[in-house]
Structure 1
Amino acid sequence: MKPKMILKLSIDFVMTVLLLVQMAFQVTGQEAHEWTGAGMFVLFLIHNILNINWYKNLLKGTYTAIRTFQTIINLLVLVTVIALAISGIIMSEYAFGFLSIKGGMAFARLLHLSAAYWAFVLMSMHLGLHWGMVITMFQKPMKRTPILTLPALVPMCIAIAIAVYGAWNFYKMNILSYMFLRSQFVFFDFEKNAFAVFAENTAMMGLWICAAYYAAKFLKKIHTTKKSIEAIEEKPK
């Protein structure tokens, strides 16, 4: 594996961990939340610099359904992260407290609340769009097994269980109400232990990873089928 790819994967892994840390405010507290958020934003900038060619090619080539889906998710991630950075800096008491920003606190709080949960969902989906690469990395050292065998069914059942648990927590915590600001205050259970908090957030991340991964597979399948039909129709009779 090339050094640049190793660097990219390392940054993506650290960002994934930091995303889970960011969503565990009741465990980390305000100061750690701010510093890990600042660190994550720096890594996000490096991630985008390393993938600058993606931006250069935005207006090039044909937009298939899967490419359109990926582009929308990526651009929305960019928008939400910028919104988080701006609102986070305005509200900061520690990492950017030296700026002594006084105005716009009410707006920044609402923006940060909504953008945080949108970013969590969208970044999880972004990870899901590249999950095939992760699966391939783990499959390379071992032989590919048929789908209907125990070695293949076990990880599939685990993934389904995680997604179902994630969906339950997403509903139970009423995350949609925060995303659309139907509820403007988040209830944090500070008595819940750290393991439970991270388990719930990891499961919710798994839910959106699965959703994006299988949505992408479905769109690719449609595209492949369409190309096959067009190829048959173009054959001389």
Structure 2
Amino acid sequence: MQPKTIGKRSVDLAMTLLLLLLMARQITGETAHEWLGAGMFALWVAHHALNASWHRRLFRGRYTPFRVCQLVVNLLLLLAMVGTMVSGVVLSQTVFAFLPISGGRSWAQPLHILASFWGLVLMALHLGLHWGAILGQVRRQSELPARPAARWVWRLLGLAVAGYGGYAFWYHQLPLYLSAQAHFVFFDAAQPAVGFFLDYLAILGLFVWLAHYGGKGLQALARRKRPPEPAPWEKKRQSR
């Protein structure tokens, strides 16, 4: 694996871990939450720098339904990240306390919750739309044969994670946060920290699963609608 690819995957993994920790503010504490948020911002900048080629190709090539879906998710994720960071700076009492900001908590608190939970969902969708490429890379590096039985085991495992993620999605009341109906985050103090992180990991898995198979459906639809390639002799006839 090339060094740049290793750097990309390392940053992506670090962002995923930080995202889970950021959702656990009641466990990590307010000060750690702010520093983790600052770290997420640094990783987000690094992610864009490492994927600068995507920005350069933005206005090139044909936009298939799958590519349009990727673009929409990326733009919404950008908005969610900006909303999270701006509201986080306004709410900060430690890391950005030196900034001359007064007031603003009345709008920053609900915006921070709304943008944070949409950021969680959109980051999982973003990851899911690239999941096929990630799995292909892992297979090439591991050089393991793609056995049909192993594929079905992984598919069933993914379905189980998505199913539990759906339960955790409702249990932790994410529909309320995603629809801006709650200004405070529900936290079950009786639940062990390990259970909390597993629940949110399953929620991530749910949206990765949805995006992965939804993306495969869009790609299959585009292949069906694409006109068939003309035969070589037809190409010669058209060129005359």
User: TM-score normalised to the size of structure 1?
Assistant: 0.92
* Aligned twin of 2:159: 160
Amino acid at match of 1:143: P
**Deviation string, structure 1 residues 194-223 (Cα, Å, up to 9, x no partner):** 100100000000000001111111111111
1:54-78 CA-partner distances (Å, limit 9, x unpaired): 2222222221100100000011111
Q: Please, which moves more after superposition, 78-87 or 47-56?
A: 47-56
Q: Which residue of 2 aligns with 1:132?
A: 132
Asked whether the 8 Å contact 1:26–1:189 carries over to 2, the reply is no
In the alignment, what sits opposite 1:94? 94
- 1:27–1:190 Cα contact (<8 Å) kept: no
Q: Deviations over 1:99-149 (max 9, x none)?
A: 252221110101101000000000011111111122113323210112xx2
| Residue pair 2:73, 2:126 contacting (<8 A) in 1 also | yes
* Alignment partners' CA distance in 2, 1:38 and 1:20: 14
C-alpha distance in 1 between matches for 2:230 and 2:22: 51
Give the match's secondary structure for 1:97: coil
Q: Deviations over 1:169-197 (max 9, x none)?
A: 11222211111112222211233211001
Aligned to 2:237: none
For 2:195 and 2:82, how far apart are their aligned partners in 1? 29
Secondary structure at the residue paired with 1:231? Answer: coil
Alignment correspondent of 2:58: 58
Q: 1:174 & 1:118 partners in 2: Cα distance?
A: 13
Residue 70 (structure 2) pairs with residue 48 (structure 1): no
5+ residue gaps, structure 2, are 235-240
Alpha-carbon separation, structure 1, partners of 2:27 and 2:197: 9
Give the Cα separation in 2 of the matches to 1:203 and 1:66: 24
Q: Does 1:184 align with 2:183?
A: yes
Distance 1:101 1:190, change over 3 A: farther
Q: Kindly report structure 1 stretches of 4+ aligned residues shifted beyond 6 Å.
A: none
Aligned residues: 233
Q: CA RMSD in A?
A: 1.9
Given that residues 110 and 182 in structure 2 are in contact (C-alpha distance below 8 angstroms), is that contact kept between their aligned partners in structure 1? Answer: no
Give the secondary-structure state (helix, strand or coil) at the position aligned to 2:229. helix
Partners of 1:85 and 1:60 in 2: how far apart?
30
Determine what percentage of the aligned residue pairs are the same residue: 38
SS of the aligned residue for 1:212 comes to helix
2-side partners of 1:44 and 1:199: how far apart?
A: 24
Q: State the shift of 1:230 in Å.
A: 4.2
Change (3 A) 1:190 1:29: farther
Distance 1:43 1:152 in 2: 32
Hey, what does 1:12 align to over in structure 2?
12
Work out whether residues 117 and 175 of structure 1, in 8 Å CA contact, stay in contact via their aligned partners in 2: yes
Structure 1 residues not aligned, in runs of 5+: none
Other-structure match for 2:144:
142
